[in-house]
Homo-oligomer: A and B are copies of this chain.
Amino acid sequence: MENIEGNISVIELEPWELVDHIGETIQIHGSIYKIRKMKGFAFVLLRTKRDIVQCIATKDTEIPVEESCVVITANVVEECRSKTGYELHIEKIKVVSNPYEISPIVINQKIVDTSIENLLDYRPITLRNEKERAIFKLQEGICRGIREFLYNEHFTEIHTPKIVQSGAEGGANIFSLNYFGQEAYLTQSPQFYKQMMVGVFERVFEIAPVFRAEKHDTSRHLNEYTSVDFEMGYIESFKEIMEMETAMLKYALNYLSEYYEKEIVLLNLSLPMVETIPAISFCEAKMKIAEAYNRPVKDWEDFEPEEEKLLSELILKETGSEFVFVTHYPSIKRPFYAMDNKENCNETESFDLLFRGLEITTGGQRIHNYEEQISKMKRKNMNVQLFESYLMIHKHGIPPHGGLGLGLERFTSKLLGYENVRFTTLFPRDINRLIP
C-alpha cells in the first residue's frame, strides 16, 4: 500500500459526480464492501454514503479486508455495462481504518440471511447491508416529504417535553420514572402540548419519539416509536384532518418518487397511489366484514387486528385503494378529549387510517369548549384538577381543532411490505430488547 498524502492535484469526488470525470484520476473514500476475485483481477465494491461503487483492482494490488475504510485513487473509465456508466480502475488504496476482526455475520450479500434476532442484535453491522440501510434512507425521505408539505401548509414545527406529569392516553401503558422525588411519566403522545400550541400558531407539528409501556410482544408494537403529529385550528369537521392527511401522504409519496428513486429501485418497491382515500364508519365497517367473511361481530367497541386486515382486503377489491379511513369510533374507546358526535354521543368525530391492513394513524376533532370538556371528564370519572394547565386552553379560548398521529415505523413497514415493524425501526425497543 502506498501513501498518497500530498497528492493534492487529485480531487476527491462523490459517486454521482464521477460520470462527469471519465478519463480522469480521482479520489474517493468508503468502506470495502465486497471483494470478488477473478482471474488476473478483482472486483472491489466500495460502499459510500449512498452508493456502492464498482472498482477494478489488478492482481498486483494489495486489497485490504472487507470493512476496511479506505481512500482510493482511481481512474474513471467509461463502462456501458455498469449501471452507473463507469467503473473505477484502482491505482492506489490508502487504508484509514482497519477492522480488528471480521464480522460474524455476512452483510454483503443481497440480503442479510439470518434470523431477526441476529439481524437486530448485530444492528450496528447489519445496517451496513445495502438494502438494510436503504430502508432508513427511504424513511428519511418520508420525513422530509412530510415536513416540506407541512411547512407549505403553514404548520409550525415545535419541540414538546417527553417527561410529563400525566399521560395523554391514560391507561397502564405508560413508563414512569422518579423525577427528583416526584413521579413523572414518559409521554405517550404530544397531544396536550400540540393542542396548547394550536392557540399559539394555529397549525403545528412535531416528529418525535413517544413511549408506550406495551407489554404485548407483537409484530406491530414497539415500546418507543417516532410519531408524526400535527394539529390544526379553525376546522369545521374532522374530515378536514383526513383531507390534510390524504394530501400529506400523496405529497410524501411523490417526494420519494422524485428524490429517492435509488432506494425505490433497490428495494423493488411499488408505491401506492393516493388520490382520494375511501372512508367508512366503524359500525358499517364492522358489519361489512361480518357479512363478507361470515364472521359474527364479537366486539362492537374495537377492531381485532384480523378485522383490520380483512377490511383492507375488501376495500382494495372494491375501490383499488390500499388506504381506508375508518370513522366515528366508539366514544368508550377514545380518549377524553375526543369530540363526540352531536347526533350520537356514543360515537366520536374521529378516525383511524388503515394501510395495507394495519392502523397507521389515529386522529380526530378535539373538544374545544370548556364546559363540554369538563363534563366529559367527569363522566369518565377523571380528576379535573390534575389537568388544570391543559384546561387553560379551553378556559381561555381555543378554536375548534383536530389533528392526528402517524406511526412512522408502521407506515414505513407497510410501504415496504414488511410484516414486522422492527424491520423498519433503526434500533427497536420491545419488551425483550433494550440493546443495541
Query: With A and B bound together, what is the CA distance between A278 and B158 in angstroms?
Result: 33
B127 x A197 contact (CB < 8 A): yes
B434–A400 contact, CB under 8 A? no
Q: Is the CB of B159 within 8 A of A396?
A: no
Q: Is the Cβ of A161 less than 8 Å from the Cβ of B397?
A: no
Q: Is the CB of B180 within 8 A of A178?
A: no
Contact residues in B for A209 (Cβ distance below 8 Å): 159, 161-162, 208-209
Chain B residues near A71: list those with CB within 8 A.
234
A370 an interface residue at 8 Å Cβ cutoff?
yes
In the bound complex, what is the Cα–Cα distance between A176 and B436 (angstroms)? 17
CB proximity to B under 8 Å, residues A195-250: 196-197, 199-203, 208-209, 211, 213, 215, 223-224, 226, 233-234
Q: How large is the interface on A (under 10, 10 to 19, 20 to 34, 35 or more residues)?
A: 35 or more
Q: Taking the nearest CB of chain B, how far is it from the CB of A399, in angstroms?
A: 4
Q: Please, how many angstroms separate the alpha-carbon atoms of A288 and B398 in the complex?
A: 55
Q: Say whether B392 contacts A200, CB under 8 Å.
A: no
Note all chain B residues with C-beta closer than 8 A to A20. none
Q: Chain A binding site: helix, strand, loop or mixed by DSSP? A: mixed
In the complex, the answer to whether B234 meets A29 with C-beta atoms within 8 Å is yes
State A102–B431 Cα separation when bound (angstroms): 47
Give the number of copies in the complex.
2
Shortest CB-to-CB span from A82 to chain B, Å, is 22
- The CA-CA distance from A117 to B399 in the complex, in Å, is 26
Q: Which residues of chain A (308-345) have a CB below 8 Å from chain B? A: none
Which of chain B's residues has its CB closest to A100's CB?
A: B370
Chain A residues 322-375 with CB under 8 Å of chain B are 368-371
8 Å CB interface, A376-405 against B: 389-390, 392-400
Cβ contact within 8 Å between A97 and B436: no
Residue in B178, B226, B395 whose CB lies within 8 Å of A100: B395
- On whether the beta carbons of B100 and A396 are closer than 8 Å, the reply is yes
Q: Answer whether A395 and B99 are a contact pair too, CB < 8 Å, given A143-B157, A200-B133.
A: yes
Q: Per a CB cutoff under 8 Å, which of B49, B68, B394, B427 touches A397?
A: B68
Further 5 A-B residue pairs, CB within 8 A, beyond A50-B156, A50-B201, A192-B436: A124-B392, A125-B199, A160-B426, A163-B434, A389-B435
Which 10 A-B pairs have CB atoms at the shortest separation, nearest pair first? Answer: A99-B397, A67-B397, A389-B436, A100-B370, A69-B399, A124-B196, A177-B177, A49-B202, A124-B392, A127-B200
